[in-house]
Amino acid sequence: MKFKKKNIITLVMVASVICLGIFGVYQYNQKTFYYRYLNGQYDRAFYQLVDNMENMQVGLSKLQVAEEEDMDILTLTDIHRRAFTAIEALGQLPVPSATVENTSKLLNQIGDYSYSLERKRARGIEFSSEDRKNLTKLQGMTGDISTELHKLYGELVSGTVKYSDLKSRAGTRLDYISDKLVGRKFGAIEKNMSDMPTLIYDGPFSSALEKTRPKGVTGSVTDLAGAKKKAVGFLGIKNADSVSQYSYVGGPIQGLGLEVKKGDSDYFLNVSKIGGHVIWMIDNRNVNNINISVKQAAGYADNFLKGNGYEGMVPTYSMKYDDTAVINYAYSKDGIIYYPDLIKVKVALDDGSVVGFDAMNYYMSHTQRTIGKPKLTQGQAEERVSLNLNIEQVRLAVIPLTGGKEVLTYEFMGNYGGNTYYVYINAQTGNEDQVLQIIETDEGKLTM
C-alpha cells in the first residue's frame, strides 16, 4: 500500500513537472511571437520613415529645376503627403517624443510649408527668392537625416542596435532613457536640426507662431514649492510618496517639469512659471482592463475638469486608444464654441482615473475676446451651404485658421450620402472657411 501511494505521488510530481514545462514552452513561444511581431511593426514603421524621408528629399530637389506650375503642384502635393506619413511612422517607433522633438517639428514644417507653396502655385504665384532658399535648405536637411537613418537602419538589421534597448524603459523617466543607444542615435540626428530655417508662412506649424505670446498664461511667478503644491492639488493627491523636479521646460510656455509618485502611479507634469498652470500631465501606470465605456469615461473627464476650475468646457470628439479614451474639449460661452481653446483629457478605462491631460492649445489661445456681431444672418449663411447637405444642427463657432488667425463662423452639421460633415461659413464675409468630414471608427470619431 505504501509502495502504491509512493508511486502515485511520484507520478503526480512527474506530471506536474511536465505540465510546467509545457506551460513554460508555451509562454516562451508566446513571448517570442510577440517580440517578433513588435519588431516587425517597428521595422515597417522605420522603413516607411526612411522611404518617405528619401522621397521628400528627391521632391525638394526636383523643385529646384522644375518650371511648370502643374509639375510644382504635383511635387508639392507628394511632399506634403509624405511628410505626414513620415510623422505617423515616427510616432510608431519606441522612441520618446522628447528625443525626436526637432525631427517631428521639421516634418510638420515641411508638410505644412509645402502645402502653403502648393496653394501659392495654384494661384499662379511664382516661388520667391526666400522660398527657393528655404527649399534648398530643407532639401539639404532631409538628405542629411536620410543618411543618418540609413546608418541606424543598417545597425538595426545587423543587430548592433535593438529596439528593445529603448523599449524596455520606454514607460519610465526620460532621463533614464537618454543614455540608451537608439536614443543617442536619434539624438545625433536631432543635433542636425540646430540650423533649421525659420519658415514664415501661412500655416499652423509656422515658426512665427512660436513667438506668439501665450494668451491664457496669467498670474504671478511661481517658485518650485508653489509648483509642487499646484501639481499635487491638480492630481487630487493628499499624501504623495514624493514630489520632485526633473527638468526645466522651455518653448512658448516656460515652466517646471515635476514628477509625483503615489503608489503604482508615476505622474509627470509641466507647471508654468507664470501663474502655476498645469500645461500637461501624464500618468505612466499600466492600464490592462476595460471596465467602463467611453461615454462613462467622458463623465470622469467632465468631473476632473470642473474639479480643477475649468468652466464652460464642452466635449467635441472622443477616441479610444487601447485601454484608454481621449476626450477633446473646447471652451464655450454665450452660445459660441471656441475651438482654439482645446483641452484633451485621457481617461483609463479600468477605473476612470485621468492618466493624461494636455492644455497647451488652451493656454496659448484662451483669453477674453471681443467678438463682433455676425454681418450675415443664419439664413444668409445657410444659402452658402451646398444643397446636398441635409443640415441637422447650426451654431456659432470661432475656428482657427492657418497663421494663428481666428474667425467667427456658422457651424453647419449635416448628413450627405450616409456621412456626417461640418461646414463653416464665415459670419462676416460669407466665405466657406472650412469643411470637415467625420469618420466613424470602432475607436471613435475622426475629422478629415
Band of pLDDT at residue 18, cut at 50, 70 and 90: low
Domain tally for the chain?
4
Distance CA 291, CA 92 (A): 27
Overall average pLDDT of the 352-365 stretch: 92
Judged against a pLDDT cut of 80, whether residue 392 lies above it is answered with: yes
Q: What is the pLDDT of residues 307-347, one digit of tens each?
A: 999 999 999 888 887 788 889 899 999 999 999 999 999 99
pLDDT class for 14, splitting at 50, 70, 90?
low
Mean pLDDT of the 364-373 span? 90
pLDDT of 227 over the 80 cut: yes
Whether the predicted pLDDT of 21 surpasses 60: no
Average pLDDT for the chain: 79
Q: What percent of the chain is modeled with pLDDT above 70?
A: 73
Q: Same domain, yes or no, for 222 and 245?
A: yes
Are 6 and 134 part of one and the same domain? Answer: yes
Q: What is the pLDDT of residue 134?
A: 87
Q: For residues 298 and 183, state if they share a domain.
A: no
Same domain for 111 and 11? yes
Q: Which of 17-31, 198-212, 344-358, 412-426 is predicted least confidently?
A: 17-31
Shared domain for 33 and 160, answered yes or no, is yes
Say which range, 64-68, 140-144, 225-229, has the weakest mean pLDDT.
Answer: 64-68
Residue 113 pLDDT greater than 90, yes or no = no
Q: Decide which of 175, 190, 211 is a domain's last residue.
A: 211
User: Is the same domain home to 251 and 132?
Assistant: no
Q: Which of 284, 306, 324 is the last residue in one of the domains?
A: 284
CATH number of the domain to which 251 belongs: 3.10.450
Residue 374: predicted pLDDT: 95
- Residue type at 53 in one-letter notation: M
Examine the domain organization and report whether 68 and 180 are in the same domain.
yes
Q: How far is the C-alpha of 330 from the C-alpha of 17, rounded, in Å?
A: 59
Query: What is the average per-residue pLDDT within 273-282?
Result: 93
**7 and 144, same domain (yes or no):** yes
pLDDT band per the 50, 70, 90 thresholds, residue 200: low
Q: Are residues 203 and 219 in the same domain?
A: no
SS (H, E, C) 351-391: CCCEEEEECHHHHHHCCCCCCCCCCCCHHHHHCCCCCCCEE
Local confidence band at 12 (pLDDT 50, 70, 90 cut-offs): low
Least confident span in 81-90, 353-362, 418-427, 437-446: 437-446
Give domain status of residue 373, yes or no: no
pLDDT at 150 (0 to 100):
77
Q: Is the pLDDT of residue 176 over 50?
A: no
Tell me the pLDDT tens digit for each residue of 376-388: 999 999 999 989 9
What is the rounded CA–CA span in Å between residue 114 and residue 60? 9
Pair (61, 138) in one structural domain: yes
Give the structural domain span for 334.
286-368
Single out the residue in 211, 232, 252 at which a domain terminates: 211
46 within some domain: yes
Per the CB < 8 A criterion, the answer to whether 423 and 389 are in contact is yes
Give the span between the Cα atoms of 439 and 421, in whole angstroms. Answer: 9
Are residues 191 and 86 both part of a single domain? yes
| Mean pLDDT value of segment 183-196 | 53
C-alpha cell at 292: 467602463
* Closest-CA residue to 366 (of 417, 322, 406, 425): 406
Calculate the CA 166 to chain-centre distance: 20
Q: Does residue 23 sit in the same domain as residue 150?
A: yes
Is pLDDT at 179 greater than 50 in this prediction? no
Residues 6+ apart with CB under 8 A from 339: 316, 330, 397, 398, 399, 400
Residue 9 has pLDDT above 70, yes or no: no
Q: Is residue 49 part of a domain?
A: yes
Task: Kindly tell me if the per-residue pLDDT of 178 is higher than 50.
Answer: no
